Amino acid sequence: MVRIKPALIFPPDGETFTSHAGEPLTWMFDALKIKYDFGTMMRDLNPKYQVAGIEFGGALMALAHTKRAILVRKSGQVYMDQYDWSHTKTVSLIDDVCTTETSFIEAAIALANVGIGVSDYSVILDRRDLDKQTLPINSLITVADCAPILENMGVLV
């Protein structure tokens, strides 16, 4: 079970946060506040292939799972260590939070540019709107799981 409440953060009154894709957010999920749970969460997500993690939270999660993780920067740069990656054709792509799928799509393109495909996508928190879900993303929690906590804190979901 993911400890949701310690990872929730809120902007000052009357302000909003901005997602990677430029969307305004009334609350954020800061996975670094529960970073000591990354190993357990990765076991629960159960990636099918070698993992690639998206900067920053996804990269830390991937490294908690294995020291031989591929790291994908939001700028599109792909980092692979000295391990022989020539046999790696498919990865499980990991991130901490998905709001709009932008990071997953951009990372999948960056990986394709180095000859690696994405088999599956996983996150701790899937906060996508139902009508905007195009990728099949495995998640430990959804925005619906956060709703009771947020409502008790007076935040609209």
**pLDDT confidence of residue 52:** 96
Q: What is the pTM of this model?
A: 0.88
Residue 127: phi and psi, rounded to 5, are -110, 25
Q: Where are the domains of the chain?
A: 5-151
Q: Residues 99, 25: contact at Cβ < 8 Å?
A: yes
**For the segment 100-147, what is each residue's pLDDT rounded down to a tens digit?**
899 999 999 999 999 999 999 999 999 998 888 899 999 999 988 888
Residue 157: pLDDT above 60?
no
CA–CA separation, 134 vs 128, rounded Å?
10
Counting every residue written for the chain, the total comes to: 157
**For the segment 5-37, what is each residue's pLDDT rounded down to a tens digit?**
888 888 888 888 988 778 888 888 888 889 889
> What is the mean predicted confidence (pLDDT) over 73-89?
85
> What is the mean predicted confidence (pLDDT) over 79-96?
87
Fold designation for 5-151: Rossmann fold (3.40.50)
**pLDDT confidence of residue 1:** 61
Token pair listed for 24:
């305004």
